[in-house]
Amino acid sequence: MGKAESYLDEVLGAFPFGAPVVGAVRFGQGHINDTFVVHTQPEDRCCRRFILQRMSAAAFKHPDELMENIIGVTEYLGREIERSGGDRERETLRVIRPGNGEPYYTDRDGGAWRLYPFVEGTVCCQSAETPELFAASGRAFGHFQRLLQGYPAQTLHETIPHFHDTEDRLAKLRAAVRADKLGRSPECREEIAFVEERAADCSVALRALREGLLPLRVTHNDTKLNNVLMDQATGAGICIIDLDTVMPGLSINDFGDSIRFGANHSAEDETDLGKVNLDVGLFDVYTRAFLEGAGGTLTEAEIEYLPWGAKLMTLECGIRFLTDYLEGDVYFHINRERQNLDRCRTQFKLVRDMEEHWDELTEIVKKYR
């Protein structure tokens, strides 16, 4: 499969844009899919934009199942949003089918492409520029989980098996270390040891799930700040995007992944670890907002385990970056060498910070129970 750009002519011709396409350029900062913004020029009105994506073949083995999930979830959300007087065109994604009526288009080399309207009047943030903005994202992700409370979970396909199975992620890291395909393991010795010291932690949430303490819910599973679009005028988190991993999962993981990415003031691939620090104030702000958004849907045990969600999602993400580095950067997009190793290091620095501030984190959570 070649570079996504080389298929654009073919793919643009397959979708009903309703007006001439005037351009398509790469867009956003996702690590997984190839995302383009498409500009069209209707005769009688201003430019209309679309989001065109080639779904990652490395991440998603069954695009048909993936799109069935997304269509099911977005239609359900659309109905829920309408029922409460919202605007479904702005508050959820909508899949636009190609001319052949399928849910997505398959290019000449088997690449799977989908199309959404661009949600206008929104911004997508890469870092929590203000506490208010971070709170708005927390409210939106909490609310998302609440909206999907009644969704028939058994109809959802597992788009990535064992996605947040931290025990399995640990096993995959160990296998990558053993194989050491590119001879990169010596430079990762400290990081590998860091994980081994925390091997038992990898079972904490899964054990609570197995013991029936934590319930399985329909969750987003990839709750980075840049997976929610904020209203440009009000700053409210209005549209949750990147629905590829909506599957049965743990609410604490949705909480935790947001903390991992947003409760600090550095980039995920920052090389100066002195700049990478957990912001406990932002943890507090997010906890409150997430619980507000979830509106009483979380159980006492789920709330109690929120700090574990934060620590485990951060540790797991570091493990995944490290595994990908050892395997030759085959999963996460990179734009420079060692980027996945740098990403791993920021995650482990944050895990350390969480451990150091553990009592404060548990106190914060208690405050909002």
Question: Binding residues for ligand ADP, per CB under 6 A?
Answer: 27-28, 30-33, 35, 51, 93, 116, 118-119, 124, 226-227, 229, 241-242, 244
Contact predicate 60/66, CB 8 Å: yes
Q: Is 191 in the site for ligand GN1 (CB under 6 A)?
A: no
Taking the C-alpha atoms of residue 7 and residue 343, their distance in angstroms, rounded to an integer, is 30
* Residue 29 Cβ vs ligand GN1, minimum distance, rounded to whole Å: 7
Residue 97 DSSP SS3: coil
Q: Which does 118 bind (CB under 5 to 8 A by kind): Mg ion, ligand GN1, ligand ADP, none?
A: ligand ADP
Contact predicate 209/248, CB 8 Å: no
Contact predicate 59/46, CB 8 Å: no
Task: Name which of 27 and 368 has its Cβ closer to ligand ADP.
Answer: 27
Task: Name which of 31 and 343 has its Cβ closer to ligand ADP.
Answer: 31
- Of 248, 262, 313, 249, nearest to 290 by C-alpha is 262
Total Cβ atoms within 10 A of residue 162? 12
* Residue 56 Cβ vs ligand GN1, minimum distance, rounded to whole Å: 7
Query: How remote is the C-alpha of 107 from its chain's centroid?
Result: 26
Taking the C-alpha atoms of residue 162 and residue 241, their distance in angstroms, rounded to an integer, is 21
Tokens in use for 334?
Answer: 């990179």
Task: Name which of 109 and 120 has its Cβ closer to ligand ADP.
Answer: 120
Task: Name which of 66 and 208 has its Cβ closer to Mg ion.
Answer: 66
Task: Name which of 12 and 230 has its Cβ closer to ligand GN1.
Answer: 230
- Of 66, 67, 249, 73, nearest to 159 by C-alpha is 66
Following DSSP, what letter does each residue of 55-79 receive, concatenated? PPTTT-S-HHHHHHHHHHHHHHHHH
Task: Name which of 313 and 365 has its Cβ closer to Mg ion.
Answer: 313
- Of 16, 10, 20, nearest to 100 by C-alpha is 16
Q: Is 304 in the site for Mg ion (CB under 5 A)?
A: no
Task: Name which of 208 and 229 has its Cβ closer to ligand ADP.
Answer: 229
**With the C-alpha atoms ordered 60, 65, 70, 71, is the resulting torsion angle positive or negative?**
positive
Per CB under 6 A, contacts with ligand GN1 among 52-71 are: 59
* Residue 61 Cβ vs ligand ADP, minimum distance, rounded to whole Å: 15
Total Cβ atoms within 10 A of residue 154? 6
Of 31, 169, 220, 345, the residue at the interface with ligand GN1 (CB under 6 A) is 31
Per CB under 5 A, contacts with Mg ion among 305-364 are: none
Of 198, 220, 224, 357, the residue at the interface with ligand GN1 (CB under 6 A) is 224
Q: Is 262 in the site for Mg ion (CB under 5 A)?
A: no
Task: Name which of 80 and 222 has its Cβ closer to ligand GN1.
Answer: 222
CA distances to 17, 60, 142, 150 from 283, in Å: 42, 32, 14, 28
Q: Is 244 in the site for ligand GN1 (CB under 6 A)?
A: yes
Of 7, 24, 30, 308, the residue at the interface with ligand GN1 (CB under 6 A) is 30
Residue 313 DSSP SS3: helix
Q: Is 227 in the site for Mg ion (CB under 5 A)?
A: yes
Per CB under 6 A, residues contacting ligand GN1 are 30-32, 59, 222, 224, 227, 242, 244-245, 257, 268, 317
Per CB under 5 A, residues contacting Mg ion are 30, 227, 242
